[in-house]
Amino acid sequence: MSNTSHEVAQGPHHNSGAASTALSAHSIDKKFPGVLANDSVDFDVRAGEVHTLLGENGAGKSTLAAVLCGLYQPDAGYLMRNGKRINLSSPRAGLQHGIAMVHQHFRLVERFTVSENVILGSRDLPFKLNRREINEKVAAVAESYGLPIDPDATVGDLSVGQRQRVEIVKALYQGAEILLLDEPTAVLVPSEVEKLFENVHAMTAAGKSIVFISHKLGEVVEISDRVTVLRNGRVTGHVSGRGTTDTKELARLMVGRDIELNAQRATHAIGHEVLQIRNLSLSIDDVAVLTDISFNVHAGEMVGVAGVAGNGQRELADTIAGLISPTSGSVGISGAMTTDCGPVQAREVGLAYVPEDRLGMGLVPSMSILDNLLLTRDRKLVVDRVSVRPEASRLIEQFEIKANGPDHLARKLSGGNAQKVLLARELSGGRSATKLLVVCSPTRGLDVGAIETVRRLLNDARSAGQAILLISEDLDEVLSLSDRVLVLYRGSVVHETPGETAQLSQVGAAMAGLAAEGRS
């Protein structure tokens, strides 16, 4: 263990309670090209407990989980199951030792029924399948852990929460004693999270071990019996006891320094109008999506647009970016009318756009960071990589992007780093200096460290005099960053308030459509 790591408690319990230790990993090393994903990591989980692996994206927790379930083989170190050394050559070998992984991206065949998915891969089944018998057994396993599910339902028709339940039932059906849950709450709504935690308790009560992988501090404290914190592939802390840990300490172990999630509004001067939207309306297939929207964004000002998803946010952003032509009304950027003129012209007068869909609309996943940067640079016939390369290297450093260099492929970046590349490209200006930045859900799906960086970058851009339109479903984010807050409800701006005095209750009510007036 390195000198820089923080030891809150003793390292993993090698000696104490060896009988109850279900699975342990010792001095695990795992290298990937250019990264040491796991560096001498120790970990153990006992029967009937929830042991959490906490860390930022890229800290090595998913790699460790992959080693624990047999998906990866460690370069050094070994695993022990019930005190005996084991060697897992594949996930199947892991299953044979009762270790199963519930992946973040579900491994389910959508066209198959629940039963078919559950039994897929079970070797002890007879050649010919008896569906009735299988359905009964699947239902029985599900019932016993409070995971009701219809064995004949087609998985493609199920909600995300239900699919996760199918994954868990599948692991239990295959005889798993140790379940590794990889970011299980990332895809769930709060009520589903509650249900999942009930299931987790039912499983631990039955003597199963749960390895819970997460970067969300609140839920980690709620569910865990023990927490192991990873940073840069190393164990930086090992915290025991439920509810005794405060989130600040965990956050510090995770990021390596004190962090401030509530980025303060920087003091800055607000300048002239950069974005002018006048009576903007948009109908798609005769359905009104945006209705009579007018507002301005000034230089050095961040305007936040709050609202429940699907109230016209995406269309508003796309209209400003020149991707959609409005039915009526106008969009002006820096005094130039950009209505109907298309994205190229809009960018020429100083628009920068960070869409919600980073790897779909924002970056080309199969291209390098350098080539992604070039997309918004000068449009010459011959691509000039040589002259942009130094800038790319500088941006990678400036924006703290974890990558092997300008040639790193965009699809191999973590979510946070992809977002930083996108911000770096948009903020650094393309064919003209950036005057207006439109960002949509900039921190969605990112871990704590990346969220902090992205918010700081946005603040820096505002301080540098850029006008920013922040469109986000994360109400806390909108409230803590924006100088002014607009609430979009069914395509109209139903509420407007200065950011500093914005009331959570009022904005929340407006988002729910309860405020007809209130627009100043």
Residues near another protein, by CB under 8 A: 32, 35, 37, 70-71, 90-93, 95, 101, 103, 107-112, 116-117, 119-122, 125-129, 131, 412
Q: How far is the CB of 486 from another protein (least distance, A)?
A: 38
Query: DSSP code of 360?
Result: I
69 CB-contact burial (10 Å; exposed 0-12 / middle 13-18 / buried 19+) = buried
CB 401 within 8 A of CB 328: no
Q: How far is the CB of 166 from another protein (least distance, A)?
A: 11
**List of long-range contacts for 505-513, beta carbons under 8 Å, 24+ apart:** 507/306, 507/475, 507/478, 507/479, 508/475, 510/306, 511/306, 511/307, 511/308, 511/475, 511/487, 512/308, 513/489
Structure tokens at 432: 């003209």
Q: How far is the CB of 309 from another protein (least distance, A)?
A: 26
CB 229 within 8 A of CB 55: yes
- 88 or 324, CB closer to another protein? 88
Q: How far is the CB of 517 from another protein (least distance, A)?
A: 47
| Amino acid letter, 309 | A
Q: How far is the CB of 132 from another protein (least distance, A)?
A: 12
CB 465 within 8 A of CB 434: no
- 175 or 429, CB closer to another protein? 175
Q: How far is the CB of 177 from another protein (least distance, A)?
A: 17
Q: How far is the CB of 130 from another protein (least distance, A)?
A: 9
Euclidean distance between CA atoms 320 and 101, whole angstroms = 44
Q: How far is the CB of 90 from another protein (least distance, A)?
A: 5
CB 135 within 8 A of CB 141: no
Euclidean distance between CA atoms 233 and 58, whole angstroms = 8
What is the DSSP code string of 453-502? Answer: HHHHHHHHHHHTT-EEEEE-S-HHHHHHH-SEEEEEETTEEEEEEESTT-
- 7 or 110, CB closer to another protein? 110
Strand-pair partners of 8 = none
Sign of CA dihedral 343, 344, 347, 348: negative
- 183 or 452, CB closer to another protein? 183
